[in-house]
Structure 1
Amino acid sequence: MNKFVWLGLALISGMVLPIQASLNAKVGKVLESGVAASLLSFVVGGLSLVMYIVFSSETINTQAFKSIPALGWIAGLLGAFYVTIVIFTIPRIGPALTFSLIVAGQMIVALILEHFNLLVAQQHSINLPRILGMLLIIGGVILIRKF
């Protein structure tokens, strides 16, 4: 696929996160449990993926699961942590501040991962333009928090 398609898909996926999180927070309020709302989100997502696999030409090499490194299994735990924390956070500080902090946190860790070539496809050193970009993101968080 064209690089611009991937850029667009990344942008769209970022746009749906606050919607998903806000809906999850509403479900958490109805269920009176953020953890139950998170579980429901993962069950519905998991069932959606199963349906996709069943009705598409996608195949899964079940033998490959044996070669997943131990750290690979932590991704599911991190996903559960993320979704659950967002469900609890949005009603308390709002989606704009929640996601501005999430983006800032993502960028800080992404820069570190790329700099030290950890878990990434390509190494990119931290340099002045990247530091300035990060400072702009942090400035945005401060503005969203203040106003």
Structure 2
Amino acid sequence: MKWIYVCYALLAGALLPIQAGVNLRLRGSLGDPIWAATVSFGVGTLALLAYGLITRSPLPTLTMVGTAPAWAWIGGCFGAFFVFSTIVLAGQLGAATMMAWLLAGQFLAALILDHFGLITFDVRMISWQRILGVILLVAGALMVNKY
């Protein structure tokens, strides 16, 4: 059962550089990465709204909305920054180098989030094996960047 989620993660990860390339092309048409990211988020919002309506996913109540802590509302800002950043970085670094550094940054942050159980993650202590894995990822990013 867990392999289904691993395959899902691989697919989602594979779509990130494709999304960056599509948004880079959109930037070329619209002339600015801010507008390309805005259009990308707008289309994504419409797609999620349509999916929610088609699947008849229940709308959250105002009570449910009110239970979210204030910091939980900034996730969209992080997503917007990420999409904007990939539009800028894709043109400057290329898909492979951009993704290598994005992954290295994601893993470094993920180790800290897991170790301290921050923002609702379960505690998963840093081990030498996990540190080695991140070191290998950073080494891979350096190699992809150089070659």
TM-score computed with the length of structure 1 as normaliser? 0.96
Structure 2 residue 31 is matched with structure 1 residue 32? yes
Cα shift at 1:65? 1.2
Contact 2:113 2:121 in 1 (8 A): no
The residue number in structure 2 matching 1:105 is 105
Cα distance between partner residues in 1 of 2:87 and 2:105: 17
Cα distance between partner residues in 2 of 1:136 and 1:22: 26
The residue number in structure 2 matching 1:19 is 18
RMSD across aligned positions (CA): 0.9
TM-score computed with the length of structure 2 as normaliser? 0.96
Q: Percent identity?
A: 34
Contact 2:37 2:83 in 1 (8 A): yes
Cα distance between partner residues in 2 of 1:13 and 1:51: 20
Name stretches of at least 5 consecutive residues in structure 1 with no aligned partner: none
One-letter code of the match for 2:100?
S
Cα shift at 1:62? 2.9
The residue number in structure 2 matching 1:71 is 71
Give the aligned length: 146
Contact 1:35 1:84 in 2 (8 A): yes
Moved over 6 A (4+): none
Contact 1:114 1:120 in 2 (8 A): no
Cα shift at 1:102? 0.3
The residue number in structure 2 matching 1:43 is 42
Contact 2:115 2:126 in 1 (8 A): yes
Structure 2 residue 32 is matched with structure 1 residue 4? no
Cα distance between partner residues in 2 of 1:68 and 1:26: 36
The residue number in structure 2 matching 1:117 is 117
